């Protein structure tokens, strides 16, 4: 499927941008130890921001929405510049006077696995988003981080009411009574977040437990084990991961969510959208640079065509 003759889907990415300080190390240090880094780069990240990069590169149009630090902060301006370079609109980002834009220290080891420490000021959750009519005008879908449930669930509920897809990237534990679980149309968990949310270590049992609480599509991404999901008949299905030489996993899950949001918004069915998302995430893992290593739409389609032979 190509995107040349179709209007690009316009996707609102709701999240909290992060300033990522990334270090490449031979091994993650133990408690009280020091290790040298072989490389360092400053980038910006955060689940929704990374997904927005994926959306912009994979055939969609992304607009960021959520709280940021003070307008005079250097980190905030750096993030705005990076988003501009990617063609991502920033009309929904809101500066919070006196607050600090979230910051992460990211350690990437030789296997490509990342270890992250992040600081987010709790006061960022006091943000008041623009009215739903403003944010949802000309919007085809929402891609949201689960951690934004506290200030964005009403927006998502209104979007779902209007028939817009609401894709939630769930990478940390949620309460089973959380309104976002029923306000969204698509819930895609990381394995760790699913287990912590359901209180069950088994993927299938945990997914079934969550599925009983919502009408949304539910899935869990499991890295090299692929994606497990429930179809309309509540039967388990699997989308295999593509085996690749992994260099850097930072941002791969977010690129998966962005790719899925683009493909589904274009009208691809669930299996095709998941396969597209898996291919985009796999290619990203072969390159360093976090989400900024996201492939282009043409690269993903060429990759899928090669795998189909």
Domain ranges of the chain: 10-28+36-123+132-307
Q: Are 220 and 206 in contact (CB under 8 A)?
A: yes
How would you class 290 by CB atoms within 10 Å of its CB: exposed for 0-12, middle for 13-18, buried for 19 or more? buried
155: which residues sit within 8 A by CB, 6+ positions away? 14, 129, 132, 135, 136, 142
**Confidence (pLDDT) at 7:** 83
Structure tokens at 167: 């894709």
**Confidence (pLDDT) at 230:** 98
**Confidence (pLDDT) at 69:** 93
**Confidence (pLDDT) at 5:** 54
**What is the strand order of the sheet 18-24 is part of?**
39-45, 18-24, 103-108, 114-119
**Confidence (pLDDT) at 1:** 40
4: which residues sit within 8 A by CB, 6+ positions away? none
For residue 116, the cross-strand partners are 106
DSSP letter at 286 equals T
**Confidence (pLDDT) at 92:** 94
Q: Are 76 and 68 in contact (CB under 8 A)?
A: yes
**Confidence (pLDDT) at 158:** 98
Residues (pLDDT < 50) of the chain are 1-4
74: which residues sit within 8 A by CB, 6+ positions away? none
Q: Are 192 and 253 in contact (CB under 8 A)?
A: no
Closest CA to 191 of 215, 217, 225: 225
Class of domain 10-28+36-123+132-307: alpha beta
What's the CA angle centered on 203, arms 231 and 228, to 5 degrees?
A: 35
Classify each residue of 268-287 as buried b or exposed e, where b means 16 or more C-beta atoms within 10 Å of its C-beta. Answer: bebebbbbbbbbbbbbbbee
**How many angstroms from the chain centroid is the CA of residue 99?**
24
**Confidence (pLDDT) at 172:** 94
d(CA 21, CA 34): 17
**For tokens 């969550």, what's the residue?**
210
């Amino acid at each position: 499927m190509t995107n040349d003759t179709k209007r690009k889907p316009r996707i609102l990415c709701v999240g909290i941008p992060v300033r990522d300080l990334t270090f490449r190390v031979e091994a993650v240090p133990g408690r009280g130890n020091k290790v040298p880094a072989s490389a360092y780069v400053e980038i910006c990240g955060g689940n929704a921001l990374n997904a927005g990069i994926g959306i912009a590169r994979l055939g969609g149009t992304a607009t960021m929405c959520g709280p940021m630090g003070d307008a005079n902060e250097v980190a905030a301006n750096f993030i705005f510049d990076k988003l501009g370079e990617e063609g991502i609109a920033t009309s929904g980002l809101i500066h919070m006077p006196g607050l600090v834009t979230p910051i992460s220290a990211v350690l990437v080891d030789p296997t490509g696995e990342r270890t992250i420490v992040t600081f987010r000021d709790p006061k960022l959750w006091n943000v008041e988003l623009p009215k739903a009519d403003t944010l949802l005008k000309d919007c085809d879908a929402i891609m949201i981080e689960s951690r934004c449930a506290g200030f964005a669930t009403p927006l998502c509920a209104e979007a779902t009411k209007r028939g817009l897809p609401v894709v939630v990237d769930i990478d940390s534990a949620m309460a089973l009574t959380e309104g976002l679980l029923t306000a969204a149309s698509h819930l895609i968990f990381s394995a760790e977040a699913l287990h912590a949310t359901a209180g069950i270590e088994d993927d299938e049992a945990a997914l079934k437990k969550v599925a009983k609480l919502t009408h949304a599509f539910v899935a869990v991404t499991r890295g090299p084990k692929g994606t497990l999901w429930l179809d309309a008949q509540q039967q388990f299905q699997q989308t295999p991961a593509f085996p690749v030489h992994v260099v850097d996993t930072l941002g791969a899950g977010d690129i998966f969510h962005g790719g899925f949001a683009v493909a589904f918004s274009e009208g691809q069915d669930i299996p095709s959208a998941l396969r597209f998302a898996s291919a985009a995430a796999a290619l990203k893992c072969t390159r360093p640079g976090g989400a900024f290593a996201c492939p282009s739409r043409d690269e993903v389609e060429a990759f899928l065509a090669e795998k189909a032979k």
